[in-house]
Amino acid sequence: MSALLLDGKALAARIQAELTHEVRSLQERFPRPPGLAVLWVGDNPASAAYVGNKNRSGAGVGIDISKGQHLPATLSEAELLAIVDELNADASVDGILVQLPLPEQIDSNRILDRIDPDKDVDGLHPTNLGRLVRGEPGLRSCTPAGVMRLLAEAGIDLAGKTAVVLGRSILVGKPVALMLLEKNATVIMAHSRTRDLAALTRSADVVVAAVGKPGLVDGAMIKPGAVVIDVGINRITDAAGKSRLVGDVDFASVREVASAITPVPGGVGPMTVTMLLANTVQSYRRRVGS
């Protein structure tokens, strides 16, 4: 058996095309486009790539990205808080995203907590996480929301299924577990202190791997016919000195056992940026009264 490939790149392109059409339609009724401000502090090369991708994608669907800023690594926490305050008060900005990690002199939680929850398009503010816990409408964390959209588009019914989530971060593990619960899955969370991880994963109908360990999950750990979502993005260097991106799942062996699987790259990654854009448009609609 060779698993169905859950193509996040293709789905992301389709959703972005739909967002482009929606933004154009809204522009006929409202005087300004959606506004997204991405704040990047320092010169982390990975952050540069992520911010560039977000800005290009945002501009591509018609979102105004002009309020974003690239700030020096020496920036103080007080200065960054002041910038966030300005963006909170700016009526032309619907979404604010602070690219992580931040320099060591800045407390990330203090910055994230300062963002207006209704402009928190990364879905990381305590208010939005609380709304998720309570099952209330709100801006959802982008990567977990992308995972759920992939599952929905593939027609995978989660009700009554056993889902094992590997990883308990606030970015992916915890919110995706809550989203799976919303869909009536029975959710088990595993982490670095979990005993006999393989026994857990072999019991699962759905496995979501988000721990940042290349090839952690192999085919022997998967129940035949299970759905496997690989959130990991790890850069490795082979014997020839060439680097490449791999996930937390050993794709070749798992694909022969699972019924559906996401590739790395091209699976969850493109969906993360797309859900950020969807959150920005959602915030815009709310703010202009659409």
Q: Which residue has 């595993």 as its token pair?
A: 190
Binding residue ranges for NADP(+): 167-169, 233
Of 64, 94, 118, 122, the catalytic one is 122
Question: Is the preceding omega at residue 101 within 30 degrees of 0, hence cis?
Answer: yes
Tell me which of 99, 119, 205, 248 is the catalytic residue.
Answer: 99
DSSP string, 30-54: SSS--BEEEEEES--HHHHHHHHHH
Q: CB neighbours of 75 closer than 8 A, spacing ≥ 6? A: 41, 103, 106
Return the H-helix or E-strand segment holding 133.
helix 126-134
Contact status, residue 167 vs residue 201, Cβ threshold 8 Å: no
Q: Is 282 a catalytic residue?
A: no
β-bridge partners, 207: 164, 228
Token digits of residue 229: 């979502």
Catalytic residue chosen out of the listed positions 7, 16, 54, 120: 54
Query: Could you identify the residue written with the tokens 């019914």?
Result: 157
Q: Is 99 an active-site residue?
A: yes
Residues in the annotated binding site = 167-169, 233
Task: From 139, 149, 73, select the one nearest 112 (Cα to Cα).
Answer: 139
Residue 83, phi then psi, degrees to nearest 5: -65, -40
- 176 in Cβ contact with 144 (< 8 Å): yes
Active site residue 122: yes
Give the residue numbers annotated as catalytic, written as ranges: 54, 99, 122
